[in-house]
């Protein structure tokens, strides 16, 4: 893998990990267009770590409060009262609930998802599905309800569906939150916080493989660091951009892109 490939794939990872256009789908597409296969575990570890750092940087305050209040809450005598009164403890519990479906899907369906990952026609179809779901958010009557455990579970199920290549994790989780009546700000915040254990888990799995197999020799350290830096910077900017889009009520703008990308893949990339 050369420097240009590392830059392109780092940028693609940073953009598509958070914008509702599917990181896995675009990875498959760009692998096809560039004529390469990203099977370098070290590169995957570092670009995932780059996107993870971008979320941690933006939501550092929330994450610190969640960790602190969770540790306090689980050691408190009256956990139910803490759950009712402490919003950060409640949010940390909701994140745990929302993470469960993706963990179960990853554990029991890993081989299935790996077998379909590079199917371009499937990616084209699932991009159309992503676009349709995002488009439907334009027809939601504005209302605001509190996030609950059942809503967190539904959003978590949406995240588990996004393991399919071409299904956007942020697109599905934010849309699901909006469909349940959660406010735009809370939908985006919960989606990005829910991404932390998901990205951390993916990074950890790749890191374990890296320790088992050793550092690959086909890619130098510099291209890997370049990919990491691009994923981190672009990921940070992508989150900021998406937050402004959601707050302005223009989340549905991403639907046409998904439709066009899906049709292009189905018609021209075989």
Can you tell me the mean pLDDT for 141-152?
Answer: 88
Q: Is the pLDDT of residue 206 over 80?
A: no
pLDDT at 212: 77
Q: For residues 74 and 83, is the Cβ–Cβ distance under 8 A? A: no
What are the tens digits of pLDDT across the range 97-145?
A: 999 999 999 889 888 988 888 899 999 999 999 999 999 999 887 777 8
What residue ranges do the domains of the chain occupy?
3-65+110-145+161-268
pLDDT at 214: 67
pLDDT at 28: 85
Please tell me the pTM assigned to this model.
0.92
- Distances in whole angstroms, Cα of residue 95 to Cα of each of 68, 72, 76, 154: 14, 16, 19, 12
Q: Is the pLDDT of residue 155 over 80?
A: yes
What are the tens digits of pLDDT across the range 235-266?
A: 999 999 999 999 998 999 999 999 999 999 99
Cα separation of 233 and 231, whole Å?
6
């Amino acid at each position: 893998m050369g420097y240009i490939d590392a830059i392109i794939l780092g940028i693609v990872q940073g953009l598509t990990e958070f914008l509702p256009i599917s990181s896995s789908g675009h990875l498959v597409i760009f692998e096809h267009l560039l004529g390469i296969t990203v099977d370098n575990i070290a590169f995957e570890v570092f670009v995932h770590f780059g996107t993870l750092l971008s979320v941690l940087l933006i939501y550092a305050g929330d994450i610190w409060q969640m960790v602190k209040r969770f540790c306090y809450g689980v050691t408190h005598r009256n956990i139910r009262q803490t759950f009712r009164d402490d919003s950060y403890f409640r949010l940390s519990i909701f994140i745990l609930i929302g993470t469960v479906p993706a963990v179960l899907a990853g554990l029991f369906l890993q081989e299935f998802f790996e077998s379909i990952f590079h199917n371009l026609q499937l990616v084209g179809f699932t991009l159309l599905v992503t676009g349709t779901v995002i488009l439907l958010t334009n027809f939601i009557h504005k209302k605001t309800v509190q996030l609950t455990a059942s809503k967190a579970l539904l959003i978590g199920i949406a995240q588990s569906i996004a393991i399919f290549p071409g299904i956007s994790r942020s697109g599905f989780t934010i849309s699901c939150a909006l469909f349940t009546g959660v406010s735009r700000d809370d939908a985006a915040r919960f989606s990005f916080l829910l991404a932390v254990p998901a990205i951390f888990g993916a990074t950890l799995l790749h890191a374990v493989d890296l320790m088992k197999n050793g550092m690959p020799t086909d890619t130098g350290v510099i291209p890997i660091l370049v990919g990491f830096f691009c994923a981190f910077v672009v990921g940070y900017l992508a989150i900021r951009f998406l937050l402004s889009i959601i707050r302005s009520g223009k989340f549905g703008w991403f639907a046409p892109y998904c439709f066009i990308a899906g049709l292009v893949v189905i018609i021209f990339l075989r």
